Amino acid sequence: MEFNERLREVCRKKNSLLAIGLDGDLEKLPPFLMDFESPITEFNKSIINATADLVCAYKINTAFYEQFGIQGCRSMKKTIELIPDDVLIILDGKRADIGHSSAKYAKAMFHEHKADAVTVNPYLGHDSVEPFLFDETKGVFMLCLTSNPGANDFQFLKTGKGRLFERVAERAAAWNEKGNLGLVVGGTYAGELKQIREIAPGLPILIPGIGTQGGNLEKSLRLGCDDKGESVIITVSRSILYASDDLEFAAKSRDAARQMKDEINRIRKS
């Protein structure tokens, strides 16, 4: 099954467009977890156990693990093993390089780390993205318009065929020959989703920046969803992960995740 179709199927079965970012920050974890050998792994385990029935995916930003070297990579591997089979795993590494190097990145993320999907940077062009698209069952979310303030430095520059982010969306639509390519568009730039959806009507869009970063949830859904109210993943991290730092932190995170899921469904079905 092509990844994009599998994504739609998972979202329908779970009745959820919510993905939680498992980006644990040691300084923000509940203090009692510091007694464990791997506090981040224990934290992730509690979050997964509390929220797996509410989400379509977990997004793992690899930088939060790679900073700790081998121990961090072990924690990431264990975290991935804890995720149930009915929830997709998105590794957020924003990889891409010349073709030969990209093939090695793809092998590491899809085969070694068992990711269902990854994020990639399209700056090097098609030959840098193509190795990630080889297996139609594996998904690729290509950076299009990011949620950070620095997106204004390059992504809005005018080209001969529209602004740069619009050109990226157009190229992604053309490269989606195997039905496994999507886009990353920050919720902090929700107003541009209308143009992006018109350019790439069939692509799923991963939308970070909702919650702590101040992205507009309602606008993101109304402009980003397709005509079936699908093809969007809302990814939220800090406002769910750090809902509390006491012994009941996982239950509080579940409450925050349920509220977000319910709000997403209310908006997209209204």
Q: Which residues are catalytic?
A: 94
Residue 192 · residue 145 · CB < 8 Å: yes
Residue 55 · residue 257 · CB < 8 Å: yes
Residue 180 · residue 136 · CB < 8 Å: yes
| Gap between the Cα atoms of 111 and 197, Å rounded | 31
3 state DSSP class of 234? strand
DSSP annotation of 164: H
Please tell me the total number of residues recorded for the chain in this structure. 270
115 Cβ contact partners less than 8 Å away, ≥ 6 residues apart:
80, 89, 90, 91, 109, 138
| Gap between the Cα atoms of 116 and 131, Å rounded | 15
107 Cβ contact partners less than 8 Å away, ≥ 6 residues apart:
none
Query: What is the separation, in whole angstroms, between the first and last Cα of the chain?
Result: 30
| Gap between the Cα atoms of 79 and 71, Å rounded | 12
| Gap between the Cα atoms of 86 and 15, Å rounded | 12
Residue 226 · residue 197 · CB < 8 Å: yes
| Gap between the Cα atoms of 97 and 105, Å rounded | 9
